[in-house]
Each structure stands twice: as C-alpha cells, then as structure tokens.
Structure 1
Amino acid sequence: MKTVCKKDQCAGCMACVDICSKKAIQVVDSVVAYNAIIDEEKCINCGACEKICQENKSPIQQKPIVWKEGWANDQKIRKKASSGGVASAIELAFVNNGGTVCSCSFENGFFCFSSAQTEQEIEKFTGSKYVKSNPKGIYKKIFDLLRNGKKVLFVGLPCQVAAVKNFVGDRKNLYTIDLICHGTPSPKILERFLNDYQLDLVSASNIKFREKTKFYLENNQKRFTVPTVVDNYLMTFLDAASYTENCYECKYAKTERVGDITLGDSWGSELAEDIQCKGVSLVLCQTEKGKELLEQADLHLSDINLERAIQWNHQLHRPSEKPKQRDKFLKEIRKGKKFSLCVWVSYPKRCIKNFIKTILYKTKIVR
C-alpha cells in the first residue's frame, strides 16, 4: 500500500485528492485512522500530492503578537455561537467588505466545506462541529477565487489551514483563521452513535454539539440524554478516546500557529461568571492580516494573560493524549457492536454513575 504521507498519520485534509489530475488518490477511513492511498496504476509519479500534503510539509507557524478574549458586540451573534461569536463577527465583516468566507457546514448528511458571500449564508458556519469534516473541493474553489482577484477568508482546523496554504501558495488576498482543536473522530463514529437511536447522518437535521459551556449532542432540538449526564458520543470525544490516530501526534498543537488568527474558548477566563456564561472567545493574532480582520469586525476585546490562556488550553502546547480506553473502545466499534455497548465495555464505572444519575433525574430526586 503506497500512501501520500506516513501510514495512519493522514489528517483527512483532502488536498492531495484535489491536486491529483489523474484521480489516483483515495482517502480511506478505518475509524482508527485515515490513509491517503495512491492507485499506482493511475499514478504518473508527478509528486504533486506528496509536495502539497501538510503532514509532509508544514507551512510557517508564528507566535502570537496579540492575545485577547472577548465576544461579538451583536448579542444575537454571540447568543447563537458556541463561544463568544468572534468567528461569526469576523466573517460578517469580511463578506460585508466584498469578501468570500469558506468554512465547514453540515449539509445533506455531510460535514463539508462551502463558500458564503452574504450574511445569511455565513449562518450555516455557526456552531462547533466535533467530528472530522471533509474539505474536498474547497481548495480548487479558493484557488479560482484568488486567481480572479477575490478576497478569501478560510476558517478551519489548523491542518486544514495548512493544506489551503500549501495548495494556493502565499497569496495577498488569502486570510486564515485556525481553530483550537482537541482532535476529531471519524464521522463513522457519529453515525454509529446515531444508529443507537434509529437515526443516521442523512436523516439527522440541525445537529448541535454544545451550548456555551454545556456539552451535549442534540438533533432537531432533541437531546440524547438527561441534562445531568453527558451523552456517550461527547463523553468519548471529551475523553479523547474517539480521535483518529494522527490527532495524538498533531504538529499544530502548540503556541506557534498556522493561521493569521487563532480562535477558541477562553477557558480559565477571570471574568465574572455571568459574563462567561454568555460565551467568551480566546483570540490569538499572529499577523498584520489578522490585525486587519479584528479591526474590521464589531468586537469587544480585552487583554488576557497569555501564559494562563495556554495553561487552560492544552492544545496550545501539546496534542491530546491517548487514553488507555481508546484502543478497546475502537476495537469494539470496529466489531460492529452498538455504540452504547462499546462505551459500557470501555467505561463501566462511568456508565454505572451515568445510569444512576439518569434514574435520579427521571425520578426528580436530582435536578
């Protein structure tokens, strides 16, 4: 098996698929890992895929020159956002100035990338998405927009930002925002979780992964568990047990960042609790382009202690660590067992506690 990058270290950025003129590359998802496999019968050995792969060649990463915390001044934007709405506010200002925003949205059962040029269109990008997305096709779209003199803002995970930079090169009109990332599971993991409830991704609608500081999976405004218990999907996600192999060796989980701006949650904020409940974003700015984006947007920003921000966001100094339950959990998943059973086998004590919490909530003993 010939792969574009080191075996089991593919991030699934899909840049190699977009660059290959012979359609000789297929990204295979084994749940445990992604691999970009080359069909040697179709391959002409041009080397384009290997050169563009962000795993093989990482763009320049820079230390922050500005660090802030804050939120969108527009309270409607802030309320809809998972955090403080800073990404949405920047995107809004960007399209209002004639630019195009490219980011991840959930459409027809797929977490894919699309473009937006109006305020209404950027609404589809709102909200955290705790699953591996598929940027296939967006690289060519961005390349064409830039070639035609358009300004483009790409918002995605650090590996995806790196892939965009490798694909289009150093472009004056390209602006980038990378998101602080814990790691991402295969969408097959989410599909398996939904199967326990007789759902699948295609039939799911309006999937939501969190509400400010509360983490729960919701489909069409219906939660999968009682409010006092974290559902099985997010339990494995938050424990870092469901990520693909490459995430545990992520080269972008450090203070030096690949985007013009880095956005995340301002965990460890020293602001009053009632302010934090409304959502507070962490904002790191690495470039003059980043400063330009911040100045154009309608934001409330205040100074923070960078060392404290790094301390409370471990992805700013190291990747997520693989828990001991991860191998067992994914082994059970690959056997085809129900998601809930895979979790019970891997986390028996936690599942017993959650079962008790559920009973106490349903009997109204605990609220």
Structure 2
Amino acid sequence: MKQSAIETIGYDRCTGCYGCLNTCPVHGAIEFKLTDEGFYKPFVTNECVHCGYCQEGCPVIKKVNNNQEEDLEVYSCWSKDENIVKISSSGGIFSELAKIYLEDNGIVFGAKWENGEIVHTSISDLKDLKGLQKSKYLQSKIDNSYIKVKEFLKEGKKILFVGTPCEIAALNTIIQHKNLTTVDVVCHGIPSYNIYKKYISEVLKSDYRKIEVNFRNKETGWENYSITYKENERIIQEHLHGQDIWFKGFLADIYLNSPCYNCEFRTIPRFADITLGDFWGVPQELKNINGTSVVTLNSKKGKELFEKIKDKIEYKKTEFEIARRGNPCIYNHKLSKEKREKFFKDFPKKDFITLHKKYFPYPSKASKIINFPRRVLGFIKRRILKIVKGV
C-alpha cells in the first residue's frame, strides 16, 4: 500500500496543478474540490486502490526539466500588429505564437472564463483565440487537459500548451514529445477563489457567475491599466488597478496559495520552452508604451518557435538581470507570508471591507506626505545609477 501524492506532500506544498488527477489509473479515485481557503486541490476518494501511481504526475515529487541554463535568451518584444497589442495584456506575443499553430492545423491549450471561474481548454480555430487572450489572475481548473494533450499527440497534432510554471512542470512529468511546445507565464501566484467571490458578493453586490472581468483594460494605458467588471455587458465597476481593493490584496500577497510564497518552479532554467510576461521596468530604448512583453527562450525548441514569429514582431535582445529587475518572479523570488495566516483566520468572521482596512489598507494622507521626499530621492538615485551604468 502506497501513499497518494497529496498524502506525501501535504496541502501546504500542493499547487493544485492537476498532475495527480491526470496520471491516476483509477477513474474517480481523485477529485478536485475547493479547500476552505479557496483553492482547487485533490481529495482522495474511496475508489483509491493505494497504488501510489499519482506521484508520477506530481511535479513537487518528480521534477522533470531538460532545459539548459546556457540556452537562455531574453528579449523585449511586441507584435507589429497594433490591434493584437491593443487587445492583449502586454505585447501580444502569445497571440503570435498561437497563430503559428492554429494556421497549421495545430492545437493551442490555454485558460478561459467559464461560469465565473477559469478553466483550461483547447482550441483549433483562430476565431476562438480571443477567449484565451488577456491575463486571468485566478487558478485555472486544468481537469484532464494533460490527458487530452496525449490524445492529440497520438493523432499527430502539434500542440502549444500555455500555463503557470507549476502546470507546465506537471505536464513535463507526464509527457515529453517533440510535437509539444510549452509556454509559462511570469507568475506572481494565484489568489483564493473564496476571497474573490466574497469581494464580488459583498462589494459589487453581484453573483460571481454573472461577472465578466477584464483584469487588464489598457484604455488607461499599459502601465496604468484598469480593472473592469461587467454584468450583462454593462460596466458595474471600473478602477485603475491601484484602486481596486481585491487586486490590492492580491498584489500585497495576502491571500495567495500557500506554495506560491516560495515557488519551487521559479527556476533558471525555467521548466517551459518559452516564458512570457509584462516587461515591467523596461528601459526606454526597449519599450513600446502600448505594451511590452518580456520573453525568455529557455530551450532549443523555444528558439525554433521564436524564429517563426520574428517577421511579425519587434524584438530587442537584452540581459536577464535587466528583465529580472522589474520582474522578480522570473527567478527565485520569495514572498512574505507574514499576514496570511491571520487573514485566513479572520476571513470567515469579517466582511471584505473590514479585512481590506485591516490587512491591505490604502496609505493614509499623512504617510503619503512623509514618504514623498523618500520617493523623490529614490527616483533621483535610480536615474543617477542608470546614467552611470549607461542604461
């Protein structure tokens, strides 16, 4: 009798990647449900035969990464198609990569909205690409997507699979194939569904299943983007991202999934063939004000795919440390869990606004005045350093 993957690693290390579900040989032995904290994680049922085979799909137990650090290349990029950049969260590079596969009878896996939550799905037609575009700052329900990848590969299909670093690591433990190319994102961590739903219910006074969210509305700018909530095609709330209190709690690391605070998959080399993200802090000479993507090529397969889109994008090679400066989650970035435990103890007992004021409040006017000279000095110092370094 062997332990299941979740019994071996425990819920504090479980990312909710669905690797165990996609390797379990017994139908119904593992089911994914929301935990009390609001994350989809595996629960072993009475159907389990205790074979332990689910451990083979757990990236926390069995890490598979064949990429080499010496293959790493870093670029600042954006699509030459202004419409693609406009409807994308950053520079539209995912769309350009996806088009290569969709125009060649291939399959693209990615995340889309469904009934107020995020699910992974596959598409084979360009008209369905819109659903996979844009950042979605919630956990995606992978379900049996890795099994579907296997089935498509058996049919001779070429596949592009996009996910978070832990999801790509899970896929790597299950499948290695020349026709499978993987893309991960620079991931800050996944926030709790329960907190998100509480916010929608108490603050927006709505049902999360009826809400359509654009977490990256660039009408106010790429760097100063807004978050827009719609119900029945009508905007019910729109804020600059710094003013949205749910998003503020997410960025303050208050209610992320436990393993996200010290992610085991923010490594160099990365687990995916290509990594995509917003190039925050991008130097002016590498920047498109309408959206700039940071792209790391992590394998020879990733470089081969990048060659196929070069005529469709603007790209400028840069150094890894320049990219890492404004995007620390590219590599080995630890987040503070200082407030998390207390927050989740308070969560069932307090309303969202009270939690916001206690754990992630807006700075007071007094503190803004006190900190203003410090921010000015910091800005001057950074400018001097850039001039000295010639950046």
Contact 2:226 2:239 in 1 (8 A): no
Deviation of 1:203 after TM superposition, in Å, equals 0.9
- 2:280 is the counterpart of 1:267: yes
Q: Deviations over 1:121-158 (max 9, x none)?
A: 11111111111111112112111101111111000101
Contact 2:261 2:337 in 1 (8 A): no
CA RMSD of aligned residues (A): 2.4
CA distance in 1, matches of 2:136, 2:239: 21
Which one has a larger percent helix, Structure 1 or Structure 2?
A: 2
In structure 1, runs of 5+ residues without a counterpart are: 357-367
- 2:105 is the counterpart of 1:78: no
CA distance in 2, matches of 1:19, 1:96: 31
Contact 2:201 2:208 in 1 (8 A): no
CA distance in 1, matches of 2:272, 2:306: 13
Secondary structure, in 3 states, of the residue corresponding to 1:222? strand
Contact 1:15 1:136 in 2 (8 A): no
Q: How does 1:285-364 map to 2 (within 5 A)?
A: 285-297=297-309, 298-335=312-349, 337-348=350-361, 350=362
CA distance in 1, matches of 2:241, 2:77: 28
Contact 1:158 1:258 in 2 (8 A): yes
* Residue type of the alignment partner of 1:16: C
Deviates more, 1:68-77 or 1:317-326: 317-326
Q: Deviations over 1:24-79 (max 9, x none)?
A: 2233422276643323x321122221111111111115424321111011111111
Q: Deviations over 1:314-334 (max 9, x none)?
A: 112323412533233222223
Distance 1:283 1:47, change over 3 A: same
Secondary structure, in 3 states, of the residue corresponding to 1:145? helix
Name the residue aligned to 1:50.
Answer: 55
Q: TM-score, normalization: structure 1?
A: 0.88
Q: TM-score, normalization: structure 2?
A: 0.83
Q: Deviations over 1:333-359 (max 9, x none)?
A: 233x322221112234x26559x9xxx
Q: How does 1:144-159 map to 2 (within 5 A)?
A: 144-159=151-166
Deviates more, 1:54-63 or 1:189-198: 54-63
* Residue type of the alignment partner of 1:304: T
Distance 1:4 1:164, change over 3 A: farther
Q: How does 1:60-75 map to 2 (within 5 A)?
A: 60=65, 61-63=67-69, 64-75=71-82
Deviates more, 1:338-347 or 1:212-221: 212-221
In structure 2, runs of 5+ residues without a counterpart are: 369-391
Q: How does 1:168-187 map to 2 (within 5 A)?
A: 169-187=175-193
Contact 2:40 2:141 in 1 (8 A): no
Q: Deviations over 1:268-316 (max 9, x none)?
A: 211259x542000001101221122212222211111221112221112
Name the residue aligned to 1:359.
Answer: none
Distance 1:240 1:141, change over 3 A: same
Q: How does 1:154-165 map to 2 (within 5 A)?
A: 154-165=161-172
Aligned length: 350
Q: How does 1:7-26 map to 2 (within 5 A)?
A: 7=10, 8-20=12-24, 21-26=26-31
Structure 2 counterpart of 1:235, from 248, 259, 266: 248
Distance 1:246 1:316, change over 3 A: same
Deviation of 1:92 after TM superposition, in Å, equals 1.2
Secondary structure, in 3 states, of the residue corresponding to 1:202? helix
CA distance in 2, matches of 1:73, 1:225: 29
Name the residue aligned to 2:289.
Answer: 277
Distance 1:261 1:228, change over 3 A: closer
CA distance in 2, matches of 1:156, 1:243: 17
Q: Deviations over 1:4-39 (max 9, x none)?
A: 441221111112123322312233422276643323
Distance 1:214 1:48, change over 3 A: farther
* Residue type of the alignment partner of 1:185: P
- 2:9 is the counterpart of 1:6: yes
Structure 2 counterpart of 1:96, from 103, 111, 117: 103
Secondary structure, in 3 states, of the residue corresponding to 1:237? helix
CA distance in 1, matches of 2:51, 2:29: 11
Name the residue aligned to 1:217.
Answer: 227
* Residue type of the alignment partner of 2:111: C
